[in-house]
């Protein structure tokens, strides 16, 4: 197993197939390692396709669900450090907490401490999440390089958080995946102010990506929003997950149970603040995350309420309700919110219960069916705006997201089936369709029906690209017309995606090379059999026959004849001989495999199938040669190799042994030599015993065919009647059921043969 070969291979299915075979040989511990490999590999994919929050959530889930014998728990210190760094880097893509220095002196002092202990910040402590804030300096572990700083665009929570009297700031980065941005850029470049819209087909690699791509396009082109609300919801879920996870991890991993218990205790029953006591960094981190979670929850609840009101106002207003009914409806909504907040302030997602929930969903459905207003901000009552602003002013703890920005457009509008409602015409000059076409049939069907002009491949799919090429080429030569004029391929450089792409191209090239090689090995089909026969026939005019077709029959009668044992037809040689212009007559032979003339017989032994080795060992070869030498003047032993094995005897024998016993690999050289010398020794003995015997070595059936032609030069064809006797005897005596059955099956052939010979 090599990382580049096995992990960057084309598909997970291939790897699964390859690895599953050997997985059963290992114990559970190593099966766990395989699972780890698959998980890390899936993360490599997610790095490209998911946003930072999704990636980190998945990483956390993998860590939490890892069993005790996984690499997450059993590894050397260096690996553990690497895992810590992975968690840290993934988290820092979403948010990070930094100590805020009130004066320059504080900063310099902190930097001095950092410089004195440069390795401390990188060293992990017991908990996987406790490395967020360094214990000594309280500084963020992240080195604040200019390039990293520039990546943090938004700073949502600006006011410092106070933990144990120290101020921290929180940078929150809510950014969408960079690959989606690439897609947006392409769509922008394609957008033109034209009357007719160009059909664009965006091909997603998976079904789940379709809705994601639709959402992103909606956000950019229709809502003019940066997908902030969805990201905020995701962040909140993540924070809930990690906060619980941090405590769980402490209980699982930490060796210091006292400390763990203390943290649990402090979390559940917060003690009055004691500024002098140094709290653990884990606790600080949990506090900071709590703060962020609290801020987000309040913000989102407030926004959700606003959203519900807007919906209600819009629906009632649209249906012509009077002011009184509107006021009553709003009042009941307020009451419901109040009760709900008292019960569970965090439960903002479940807006209502029982009958009212039904009302809410029906409201939403009706709302979705309505025509959307051109400017939704007009629907916000001035009073409502004031209330929101007043609430903001009260919150001196943190700055909230601008409520003006959070209008209901930022929510995804879903259909009855839960699918994202997508306007195909939202980009100027384009008619966009997004779908996932994994099956060739659906792809071709789609192209035929929708006739897209531009295809955007979100993932480099070579198969689709080749299909399009084929369609275009077919159209060029009179096939069905193909509408596609442009294909855009989105690809991330130096990632698993590009590695797979290059690997696919490489495999495709290899396939072409192997096809060309195979084709060159095939008989020349452009050369028809008659012309091949003519090559080996006497010149025209030598035949005494005349009349229509007589020439061909005459040529047939003058083609060299080879009698081939019926049992030899499993090998490629008879077919090769036929193609090379010989008349191949299948017959049940008593001695030898191929009879070239009345005196010349050939016994073929294959090295590849182990026939040679087995015959030597069992002594069958010696018996066969004895019989052949008695009846024929020129017995030949043909030792045949193939292209798959080397043209030498030694490796072939070892291969045979390897097939039987893997431990041969480790056998001593002396032992191997013994086996080799045994074969050579036996062959030498046979040559000495049968002086008439000729041994011919052939590297392929083609080469054998050439040898046979040389041997046949000047030799008369065999007298078939002499050799049919054994077959007829076998039929009459019923020697072996198999032979009888075979003969019955070929009875017609035999009759034809007899007619031909007479």
Q: Which residues bind another protein (CB under 8 A)?
A: 1-3, 6-7, 22, 25-26, 30, 33-34, 36-37, 40-41, 43-44, 47, 71, 75, 79, 82-83, 85-86, 89-90, 92-93, 147-148, 151, 178-179, 182, 185-186, 460, 465-466, 468-470, 472-473, 475-476, 484-496, 508, 512, 515-516, 661-663, 665-666
Beta carbon nearer to another protein, 159 or 655: 655
Residue with Cβ nearer another protein (356 or 674): 674
Encoded tokens for 502: 């290059």
Which whole-number Å values give the CA distances from 613 to 144, 342, 650, 672, 699, in the listed order? 72, 88, 11, 15, 17
Of residues 94 and 537, the one with the C-beta less far from another protein: 94
- Please name which of 211, 174, 419, 213 lies closest in space to residue 300, comparing C-alpha atoms: 174
Which residue stretches of 24-161 are H helix?
28-49, 52-65, 77-92, 104-116, 146-151
Closest distance of CB 110 from another protein, Å: 24
**Shortest separation between residue 145's beta carbon and another protein, angstroms:** 9
CB of 147 to another protein, least distance (A): 6
Q: Is 275 helix (H, G, I), strand (E, B) or coil?
A: coil
Smallest distance from another protein to CB 28, Å: 12
Q: How far is the CB of 460 from another protein (least distance, A)?
A: 8
* Cβ(583)–Cβ(561) below 8 Å: yes
Nearer to another protein, 33 or 346 (CB): 33
Position of tokens 């880097």? Answer: 89
Q: Is the Cβ of residue 356 or residue 485 nearer to another protein in the bound state? A: 485
Three-state SS at 493? coil
Nearer to another protein, 36 or 100 (CB): 36
Using the minimum distance from each CB to another protein, give the nearer residue, 295 or 464: 464
Task: Identify which of residues 265 and 485 has a Cβ nearer to another protein in the complex.
Answer: 485
| SS3 call for 433 | strand
Closest CA to 137 of 164, 169, 115: 115
Distance from C-alpha of 529 to C-alpha of 578, rounded to nearest angstrom: 9
CB 425, min distance to another protein, A: 23
Shortest spacing between CB 454 and another protein, in angstroms: 9
Neighbour-count burial of 309, counting CB atoms closer than 10 A to its CB (0-12 exposed, 13-18 middle, 19+ buried): buried
Q: What is the Cα–Cα distance from 87 to 94, expressed in whole angstroms?
A: 11
Taking the complex as a whole, the smallest distance from the CB of residue 33 to another protein amounts, in Å, to: 5
CB of residue 40 to another protein, shortest distance in Å: 5
Q: What is the CA radius of gyration of the chain?
A: 41
Cβ proximity to another protein: between 493 and 758 the closer is 493
The CB-of-68 to another protein minimum distance in angstroms stands at: 16
Q: For another protein, which is the closer residue by CB, 96 or 579?
A: 96
Distance CA(69)–CA(56), nearest Å, equals: 22
Nearest CB to another protein, comparing residues 321 and 487:
487
Q: Measure CA 749 to chain center.
A: 53
- Short-list 758, 754, 753, 755, CA closest to 584: 753
Based on CB atoms, which residue is closest to another protein, 495 or 678?
495
Q: Are 313 and 323 in contact (CB under 8 A)?
A: no
Nearer residue to another protein within complex by CB, 23 or 339: 23
Q: Is 235 helix (H, G, I), strand (E, B) or coil?
A: helix
Of 128, 127, 132, which is closest to residue 99 (Cα–Cα)?
132
User: Helix crossing, 281-318 with 228-253: angle to 10°?
Assistant: 150
Q: How far is the CB of 381 from another protein (least distance, A)?
A: 43
Residues comprising the chain, all counted: 758
In whole angstroms, the minimum distance from the beta carbon of 665 to another protein comes to 8
Residue 255 or 493 having the CB closest to another protein:
493
Question: How far is it, in rounded angstroms, from Cα 659 to Cα 45?
Answer: 39
Q: Are 200 and 433 in contact (CB under 8 A)?
A: yes
Distance CA 138, CA 100 (A): 10
Instruction: State in angstroms the smallest separation of the CB of 190 from another protein.
Output: 10
Pairing of strands 561-565, 594-595: antiparallel
Q: Is 47 or 753 the residue whose CB approaches another protein more closely?
A: 47
Q: Shortest CA distance to 558 belongs to which of 576, 548, 544, 575?
A: 544
Cα 283 to Cα 264: distance, rounded to the nearest angstrom: 10
582, 559 Cβ separation under 8 angstroms: yes
d(CA 486, CA 453): 7
User: Distance between CA 577 and CA 703 in Å, rounded?
Assistant: 11
Least distance in angstroms from the C-beta of 98 to another protein: 16
- For residue 191, the minimal CB distance to another protein (Å) is 15
């Amino acid at each position: 197993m090599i990382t580049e070969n096995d992990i960057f291979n084309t598909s997970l299915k291939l790897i699964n197939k390859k690895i599953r075979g050997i997985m059963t040989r290992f114990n559970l511990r190593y099966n766990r390692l395989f699972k780890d490999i698959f998980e890390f590999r899936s993360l490599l994919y997610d790095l490209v396709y998911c946003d930072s929050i999704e990636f980190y959530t998945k990483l956390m889930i993998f860590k939490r669900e890892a069993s005790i014998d996984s690499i997450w728990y059993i590894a050397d210190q260096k690996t553990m450090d690497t895992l810590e760094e992975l968690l840290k880097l993934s988290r820092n893509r979403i948010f990070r907490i930094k100590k805020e220095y009130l004066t320059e002196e504080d900063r310099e002092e902190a930097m001095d401490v950092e410089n004195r202990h440069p390795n401390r910040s990188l060293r992990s402590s017991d908990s996987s999440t406790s490395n967020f804030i360094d214990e000594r300096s309280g500084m963020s572990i992240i080195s604040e390089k200019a390039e990293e700083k520039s990546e943090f665009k938004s700073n949502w929570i600006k006011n410092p958080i106070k933990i144990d009297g120290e101020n921290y700031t929180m940078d929150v980065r809510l950014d969408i995946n960079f690959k989606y941005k690439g897609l947006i850029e392409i769509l922008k470049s394609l957008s033109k102010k034209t009357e007719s819209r160009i059909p664009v087909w965006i091909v997603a690699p998976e079904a789940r990506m379709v809705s994601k791509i639709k959402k992103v396009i909606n956000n950019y082109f229709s809502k003019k929003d940066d997908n902030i609300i969805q990201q905020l919801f995701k962040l909140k879920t993540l924070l809930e997950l990690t906060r619980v996870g941090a405590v769980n991890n402490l209980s699982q991993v930490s060796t210091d149970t006292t400390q763990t218990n203390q943290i649990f205790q402090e979390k559940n029953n917060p003690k009055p603040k004691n500024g002098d006591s140094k709290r653990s960094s884990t606790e600080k981190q949990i506090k900071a995350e709590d703060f962020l979670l609290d801020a987000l929850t309040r913000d989102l609840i407030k926004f959700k309420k606003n959203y519900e009101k807007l919906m209600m106002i819009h629906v009632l207003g649209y249906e012509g309700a009077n002011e009184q009914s509107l006021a009553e409806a709003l009042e009941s909504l307020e009451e419901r919110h109040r009760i709900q907040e008292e019960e569970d302030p965090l439960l903002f997602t479940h807006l209502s219960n029982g009958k009212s929930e039904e009302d809410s969903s029906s409201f939403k459905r009706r709302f979705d069916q309505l025509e959307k207003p051109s400017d939704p901000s007009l629907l916000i009552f001035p009073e409502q705006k004031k209330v929101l602003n007043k609430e903001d002013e009260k919150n001196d703890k943190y700055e909230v997201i601008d409520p003006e920005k959070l209008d209901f457009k930022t929510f995804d509008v879903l259909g009855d089936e839960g699918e994202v409602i997508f306007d195909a015409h939202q980009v100027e000059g384009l008619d966009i369709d997004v779908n996932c076409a994994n099956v060739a049939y659906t792809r071709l069907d789609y192209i035929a029906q929708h006739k897209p002009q531009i295809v955007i491949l979100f993932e480099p799919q070579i198969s689709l690209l080749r299909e399009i090429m084929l369609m275009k080429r077919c159209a060029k030569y009179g096939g069905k017309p193909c509408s596609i004029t442009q294909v855009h391929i989105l690809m991330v450089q130096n990632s698993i995606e590009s590695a797979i792409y290059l690997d696919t191209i490489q495999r495709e090239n290899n396939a072409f090379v192997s096809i060309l090689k195979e084709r060159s090995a095939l008989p020349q089909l452009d050369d028809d059999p008659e012309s091949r026969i003519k090559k080996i026939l006497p010149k025209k005019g030598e035949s005494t026959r005349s009349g229509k077709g007589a020439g061909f029959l005459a040529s047939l009668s003058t083609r060299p004849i080879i009698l081939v044992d019926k049992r030899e037809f499993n090998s490629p040689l008879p077919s090769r001989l036929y193609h090379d212009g010989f008349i191949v007559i299948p017959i049940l032979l008593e001695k030898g495999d191929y009879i070239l003339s009345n005196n010349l017989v050939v016994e073929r032994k294959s090295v590849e199938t182990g026939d040679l080795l087995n015959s030597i060992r069992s002594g069958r070869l010696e018996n066969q040669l004895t019989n052949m030498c008695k009846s024929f003047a020129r017995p030949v032993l043909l030792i045949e190799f193939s292209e798959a094995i080397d043209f030498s005897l030694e490796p072939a024998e070892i291969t045979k042994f390897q097939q039987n016993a893997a431990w041969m690999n480790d056998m001593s050289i002396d032992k191997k030599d013994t086996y080799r010398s045994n074969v050579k020794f036996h062959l030498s003995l046979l040559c000495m015993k049968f002086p008439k015997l000729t041994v011919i070595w052939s590297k392929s059936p083609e080469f054998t065919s050439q040898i046979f032609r040389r041997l046949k030069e000047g030799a008369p064809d065999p007298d078939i009647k002499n050799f049919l006797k054994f077959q007829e005897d076998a039929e009459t005596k019923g020697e072996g059921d198999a032979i009888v059955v075979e003969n019955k099956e070929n009875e017609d052939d035999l009759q034809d043969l007899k007619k031909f010979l007479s």
